[in-house]
Amino acid sequence: MKNFNICFSLLLSVFNLNAQNTPHEICGYQHEVERIMKSKPNFLKWQEAWFREALDKYNELQSSKRGDITADTLYFEIPVVFHILYNNNAENINDSLIHNQIVELNRAFRKMTKDTSRIRNIFKPIAADVRIQFKLATIDENGNPTSGITRTFTTRTTFATNIYGSYSNNMKVGGSGGKTAWNPARYMNVWVCDMEFPNYIGIVYGFATPPTGAPNWDNSITKDTSDLESGIVLHYKVVGVKNPLAPSKYVEGKTAVHEVGHYLGLRHVWGDGNSANGCLVDDGIFDTPNARVANATCGGQNTCVDASNDKPDMTENYMDYALDGCAAMYTKEQAFIMRYVLNNLRPGLPYREIVFDTAVAPIEGLQVNVYPNPIGGSKTLKVKITEAVSQPYTLNIIDMSGKQVITQNFMSNVVTPVEAAELANAVYYLTISNQSGRIFYKKAIITQ
Ligand SMILES: [Zn+2]
């Protein structure tokens, strides 16, 4: 869309949206925004500020000689834990659905689903390979092996609280019929539970907590990496691909893709306005066409006609409501926003799992120690290479935009401190090269 004109008064509850002639409400994003604003009334203002910051960075990179930002080869991999809360066997969904949900998520974030062919030609050039991947956690909070799936019996038959789709957050509270999050700074928590109320009129199939606590926010705001409500909730019937209980239109596993978009900072493509003012309400993203309301069907619609560069509504976008049969893409700017969020607002998530494409030619038998990681309070990283004969090496620390932030020469067989006090809290990557310039070691490091 075209501007950052977010109208606070247009915030609608999920239930008001239901009352209008909009698609069946499937997502509790607005409800979550309203909940956050009760304790953080400036949430939208802050969100707008970090969107601006991120998009300034995007434009800077686009206009630099780096050219297309999608040429960036860095990948993130996020460890995920699914918490299954069940009161009956049907809710205790099979592992296979969780596994195929992860596969679908990964395909969606690499622009590799079979649905890529759905993208109309007009949008193909801006469809992004987001280069974020997801992996069921293999190590739990205590360092023990895990399948990345927890199963907890609950006495609650539903987490919805009325026929209109209102819900509680008890699924995230151990002792209240839920399961307490694993450290949200280290894992993406996904709760799977029953969100149906008997004889419901509205239902929320999923919701996610948007990131809070951006660097430019008030100091009193806690980063939600320590917020035990940080994560994603999915109705058990929409998890996975071809879930046998899924309502029609929700069999492709796209609800989870949509909610991960919110979790990584994206808003709905129509900006969550209402039909009267929807063309004035924005999602903060420039390469998604302006749209008045959510779309329930594929293609064709053009609910906001712009004065220049007008495009139809992007029903192919995962952040619209059309989903099954339509959804197949994130845009390049959405991709950048999600990567920015991961690097700046949820920096601990990909720490263990990060991979990147820096060419590395390992040297057999060379023992390298880089610690502590995360760097922690002392803000000093230590490096030591152990070998028979001491020789010089070069250490580089590079931020996620590819900028070199620290270079330091050191000798092997000595513990060398690397001062990192100047580095903002984020993920960086570290490489070590020998005298001939051969990069033989790489590691993701985090300062926090
Ligand atoms: Zn949503």
Complete domains list, the chain, with CATH = 8-344 (3.40.390.10), 367-446 (2.60.40.1930)
For ligand 1, the distance from its centroid to the CA atom of residue 207, given in whole angstroms, is 7
Side chain identity, residue 224: D
Task: Summarize pLDDT for 326-376 with one digit per residue, the tens.
Answer: 999 999 999 989 988 887 788 777 653 344 455 677 787 788 999 888 887
User: Is it the case that residue 10 has pLDDT exceeding 70?
Assistant: no
Distance 382 CA to ligand 1 centre (A): 43
Mean pLDDT computed over 172-199: 95
25 is catalytic: no
pLDDT tops 90 at residue 152: yes
pLDDT over 70 percentage in the chain: 85
Q: What spacing in Å lies between the alpha carbon of 260 and ligand 1's midpoint? A: 9
Query: In this structure, are residues 322 and 295 in contact, taking their beta carbons and an 8 Å threshold?
Result: yes
Does the pTM surpass 0.85? The reply is no
- pLDDT class for 171, splitting at 50, 70, 90? very high
User: How do residues 130-139 score in pLDDT, each as one tens digit?
Assistant: 988 899 998 8
- pLDDT per position as a tens digit, 75-88: 678 999 999 999 99
CA of 232 to the centre of ligand 1 (A): 11
pLDDT in tens, 16-30: 333 333 445 689 999
Average pLDDT, the chain: 84
Is the pLDDT at 2 greater than 50? The verdict is no
Q: Calculate how far, in angstroms, residue 26's C-alpha sits from the geometric centre of ligand 1.
A: 7
SS3 314: coil
Average pLDDT over residues 54-62: 82
Task: Provide the b/e sequence for 249-263 (b: ≥16 CB within 10 Å).
Answer: bbbbbbbbbbbbbbb
Catalytic residue among 252, 259, 333, 353: 259
Instruction: Report in angstroms the alpha-carbon separations of 294 from 25, 279, 332.
Output: 9, 11, 21
Predicted pLDDT at 343: 79
Q: What is the pLDDT of residue 446?
A: 80
* pLDDT of 294 higher than 70: yes
Ligand 1 centre to CA of 27 (Å) is 4
Report the separation in Å between the CA atom of 96 and the middle of ligand 1, taken as the mean of its atom positions.
25
Q: Using DSSP, how many helices (H) and how many strands (E) does the chain show?
A: 6, 13
Q: What per-residue confidence (pLDDT) applies to 113?
A: 87
